[in-house]
């Protein structure tokens, strides 16, 4: 019979072994798992993976974990493993190696064993064998030694008789460990033996030195124990305080989250007639922004401490957490994602992975061809690389795409805009179809837009302006009564100052980002792209831009 184990080859509990029984074994940081990893392993999700063990094979399956599951440093969704394979939690998280043995092994951590063994050997090697037992027993009565209290012989032998007996044994060199222990317990008893004068000078000095060393060792041990107790109490108090603060912050975050959701509902109600209710709308948005700042402050305080299982208290919908991560990349701060935004991203995800699944599949293949060049150009121009996804929405990364209104190329430039940014457009030449030149022109256009809308929400305002034109976005911003405070995308979004198509533009970009960065999750596979087939004007499909 073979035993299979998962041994920690990298992580906090290095060397620890977990026996792998038959059937399904769940692994993660949550206490509900079959195998519970150490809580300090932040890269491990609450429910990270399942391993299925049968007589025929052993399978690993990822449970849609945050950081992914790896086998031999390759990210997987499901894979069969064999002894010697290493299962990983995220790119930099702990690693468990599958091992087999014909005999049953223990699960002790090597790291723990090393610390324990080193401590014992170092201490024991400092004390001669016949002093070991004496030193350990003497610890229990050190306080009596410090006060000079006499310790009676365990056998109740008269003191004079005992002293004579010890003297005789020392002279004849026949003293045993138990007798030596009794002498080392009490300095007065030892002195009485030495005062008889039967022992030589060297032997007398040696016994006094050994007694002093033993006494010093006991004092050090008592001091060490006292220090360890004090440190343990301090550490326990520290973590208790941290736990209390964590609970307080979590409660505050949940309260603020409910308040923000209530403001969303009230703003949506008032926004049914924004012109008639402008003052109420502005007041509600102002109050919501104050709550958003408090909420963001609490989130930052909890960011490095929050447990994976507690994220649900921040995000009622898992998609909201994904969108939040993208908006952080956009440079957004002190905001709360409106429920409407989450709803629209979810809608576009359904459309793109449903009826338009094959179209988006071509987009993803073309991304492999053109995305590296776009990212390189944008980095050289010091532009947010997230703006590169505008090309995915505009043309599906098709340099030959031609829209019904005459926009063309990767970036869907109209002829006048293309010429404005240095592209040649004539009856014989059209540089809008040149991927590299068109991308440089797009970068220059984005630089100009950031110059206009720099500050809060600059990336989102640039995307909106790319769709609607900078004139319309400037017109929307001019409607703001307090531009020093409210000049951002979220304000004009909630106030209803943007056209429906522009309001939908950001959710569409976010939906494409989510799909293209997680293609396998949505049923897409990477593969070699046929450039000739993919670069065709007839292949271009304009994605629906209005609410349906």
Torsion of CA 225, 229, 230, 232, to 10 degrees: 130
Cα distance between residue 383 and residue 168, in whole Å = 93
Question: Which residues are 8's β-sheet partners?
Answer: 96
536 to 12, 176, 366, 440: CA distances (angstroms): 54, 98, 12, 22
402-416 as b/e, with b when 16 or more CB fall inside 10 Å? beeeebbbbbbbeee
User: Among candidates 109, 95, 74, which has minimal Cα distance to 9?
Assistant: 95
Q: What is the DSSP string of 388-432?
A: GHHHHHHHSS-TT-B-TTS-BTTTTB-HHHHHHTT--BSSS-BGG
Structure token digits, residue 93:
């998280």
Cα distance between residue 510 and residue 526, in whole Å = 20
For β-strands 17-19 and 23-28, DSSP reports them as: unpaired
Cα distance between residue 510 and residue 516, in whole Å = 10
Q: What is the DSSP letter of 544?
A: P
Torsion of CA 161, 167, 170, 174, to 10 degrees: -30
318 to 46, 287, 296, 321, 509: CA distances (angstroms): 14, 26, 18, 5, 18
Cα distance between residue 351 and residue 543, in whole Å = 10
Q: Phi/psi at 543 (nearest 5 deg)?
A: -70, 145
Structure token digits, residue 535:
């670069």
User: Among candidates 539, 375, 378, which has minimal Cα distance to 447?
Assistant: 378
Q: Which residues are catalytic?
A: 394
31-47 as b/e, with b when 16 or more CB fall inside 10 Å? eebebebeeebbbbbbb
- For residues 268 and 288, the answer to whether their CB atoms sit within 8 Å is no
| H or E stretch at 455 | none
| H or E stretch at 348 | helix 339-353
What SS3 state is found at 116?
Answer: helix
Alpha helices (runs of H) in 69-200, residue ranges in sequence order: 110-125, 129-139, 142-146, 159-171, 177-185, 187-195
Question: Which residues are 425's β-sheet partners?
Answer: 430
466 to 85, 365, 390, 447: CA distances (angstroms): 49, 24, 8, 12
């Amino acid at each position: 019979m073979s035993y299979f184990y998962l041994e920690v080859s990298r992580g906090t509990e290095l060397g620890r072994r977990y026996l792998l029984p038959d059937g399904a074994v769940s692994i993660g940081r949550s206490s509900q798992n079959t195998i519970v990893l150490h809580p300090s392993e932040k890269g491990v999700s609450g429910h990270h993976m399942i391993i299925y063990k049968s007589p025929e094979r052993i399978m690993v399956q990822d449970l849609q974990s945050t950081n992914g599951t790896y086998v031999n440093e390759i990210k997987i969704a499901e894979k069969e493993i064999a002894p010697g394979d290493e299962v990983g939690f995220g790119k930099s998280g702990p690693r468990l190696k599958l091992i087999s043995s014909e005999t049953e092994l223990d699960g002790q951590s090597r790291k723990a064993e090393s610390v324990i063994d080193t401590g014992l050997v170092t201490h024991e090697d400092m004390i001669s064998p016949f002093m070991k037992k004496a030193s350990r027993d003497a610890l229990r009565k050190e306080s009596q030694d410090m006060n000079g209290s006499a310790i009676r012989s365990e056998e109740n032998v008269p003191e004079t008789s005992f002293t004579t007996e010890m003297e005789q044994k020392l002279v004849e060199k026949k003293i045993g460990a138990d007798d030596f222990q009794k002498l080392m317990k009490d300095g007065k008893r030892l002195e009485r033996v030495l005062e008889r004068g039967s022992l030589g000078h060297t032997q007398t000095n040696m016994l006094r030195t050994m007694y002093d060393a033993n006494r010093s060792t006991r004092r050090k041990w008592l001091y060490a124990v006292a220090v360890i107790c004090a440190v343990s109490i301090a550490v326990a108090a520290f973590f208790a305080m941290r736990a209390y603060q964590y609970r307080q912050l979590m409660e505050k975050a949940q309260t603020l989250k409910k308040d923000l959701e209530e403001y969303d509902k009230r703003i949506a109600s008032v926004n049914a007639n924004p012109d008639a209710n402008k003052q109420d709308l502005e007041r509600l948005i102002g109050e919501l922004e104050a709550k958003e700042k408090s909420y963001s402050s609490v989130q930052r305080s909890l960011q490095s401490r929050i447990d994976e299982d507690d994220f649900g208290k921040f995000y009622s919908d898992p998609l909201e957490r994904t969108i939040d991560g993208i908006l952080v990349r956009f440079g957004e701060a002190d905001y709360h994602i409106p429920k409407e935004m989450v709803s629209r991203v979810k809608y576009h995800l359904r459309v793109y992975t449903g009826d338009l699944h094959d179209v988006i599949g071509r987009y993803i293949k073309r991304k492999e061809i053109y995305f590296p060049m776009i990212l390189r150009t944008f980095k050289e121009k010091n532009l947010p690389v997230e703006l590169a996804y505008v090309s995915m929405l505009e043309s599906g990364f098709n340099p030959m795409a031609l829209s019904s209104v005459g926009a063309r190329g990767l970036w869907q430039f109209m002829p006048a805009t293309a010429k404005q940014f240095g592209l040649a457009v004539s009856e014989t030449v059209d540089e809008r179809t040149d991927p590299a030149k068109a991308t440089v022109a797009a970068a220059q256009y984005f630089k100009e837009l950031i110059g206009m809308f720099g500050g809060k929400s600059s990336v989102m305002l640039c995307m909106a302006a790319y769709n609607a034109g900078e004139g319309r976005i400037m017109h929307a911003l001019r409607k703001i009564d307090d531009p020093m405070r409210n000049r951002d995308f979220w304000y004009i979004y909630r106030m209803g100052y943007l056209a429906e198509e522009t309001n939908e533009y950001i959710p569409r970009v976010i939906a494409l980002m989510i799909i293209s960065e997680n293609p396998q999750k949505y049923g897409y596979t990477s593969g070699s792209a046929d450039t000739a087939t993919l670069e065709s004007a007839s292949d271009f499909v304009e994605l629906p831009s209005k609410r349906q």
